Structure 1
């Protein structure tokens, strides 16, 4: 069975646009997924990227057009200028890490729930009440928002180091452990699908 490391950012628009396609692909091929939330801004800093706030206007203009094109293509609701962005990614990331450890719920749905909250629902995913609500909506104990803080912080930092070591430089970023094949972006999921089919 193939194992996929999924490096993600809970405020990433492209992680939102990925939807649940990764989960469907993994299920089709019997692959396992390990969710690895990372601080995207630090990942950009560490790997030669540029934070959105510091990007040239032409890049941001193209990004805006591309996001809207993809949202329309995928038929997904999308707010180009969400009410709460950027926000602190750490609390929601800790919740994902704690939920993955606890098990028992829909982890892919949880990750998508956080990104959807930002880009389609105008919710602030740094707020405790929002985190608890999204945890519960996907079958997890809302108390994980509190109980997973220490382990979450430790794992969150480790995920960043692992992302750099694995060659990740953005999100969504998928790495197939057995082959070392890397796929950057929700628009590369078809290639990931084909790769898994070849194993």
Structure 2
């Protein structure tokens, strides 16, 4: 059975535009997923990337067009300039890590709920009430937002180091257990084809 390590930041509009397609592809091929939220700004600084605020206007204008087109293609509503972006991604990341460790809910739904809250619903995903609502909606105990903060911080840091060691440089990023890497929500079809043996 194939396994997918999914590296992402809860701030990523492109991870949001993936919707639940990763989970659909994994289910289709009987693959498992480990969700690995990480500090994207630290990742950028260590892998030659540039924070959005420091990018040339040409790049940012193109990014906006890509987000608009991506939302239409995915059938997902998106705000091009969310009210609470960027915000601190650590609290929502710790909650995702705690939920994955606890089990019992729908991880894909949780991750998508957090991303949607940030990218469309104009909610601050650094706030406890927002995080707890996302946990509860995905079938997890909302109290997970208050527990395992130290373990969450340790895993969050470990995810970053592991990502760099494994060739990750952006979000969303998918790595199969055979080392094949796929960057971006627009490569999920390629991931699907690869798991089917067509690539």
Instruction: Indicate whether the TM-score tops 0.5.
Output: yes
Report Cα offsets for 1:77-134 as digits up to 9, x if no partner. Answer: 1100111000000000000000000000000110000000011100000001111111
Could you say which residue in structure 1 is the equivalent of 2:90? 90
Could you say which residue in structure 1 is the equivalent of 2:28? 28
Could you say which residue in structure 1 is the equivalent of 2:184? 185
CA distance in 2, matches of 1:136, 1:149: 18
CA distance in 2, matches of 1:148, 1:24: 29
| 1:51-66 equivalent positions in 2, closer than 5 A | 51-66=51-66
Residue 74 of structure 1 and its aligned partner are, at CA, apart by 1.5
Detail structure 1 runs of 4+ shifted over 2 Å in the superposition. Answer: none
Could you say which residue in structure 2 is the equivalent of 1:127? 127
Residue 41 of structure 1 and its aligned partner are, at CA, apart by 0.6
| 1:12-161 equivalent positions in 2, closer than 5 A | 12-161=12-161
SS at match of 1:33: strand
TM value normalised by structure 2: 0.98
CA distance in 1, matches of 2:31, 2:48: 31
CA distance in 2, matches of 1:66, 1:131: 28
Q: CA RMSD in A?
A: 0.8
TM value normalised by structure 1: 0.98
Contact 2:78 2:120 in 1 (8 A): yes
Point out where structure 1 has 5 or more consecutive residues left out of the alignment: none
SS at match of 2:142: coil
Point out where structure 2 has 5 or more consecutive residues left out of the alignment: none
Residue 69 of structure 1 and its aligned partner are, at CA, apart by 0.7
Residue 75 of structure 1 and its aligned partner are, at CA, apart by 1.5
CA distance in 2, matches of 1:147, 1:76: 32
Residue 135 of structure 1 and its aligned partner are, at CA, apart by 0.5
CA distance in 2, matches of 1:196, 1:148: 34
CA distance in 1, matches of 2:46, 2:32: 28
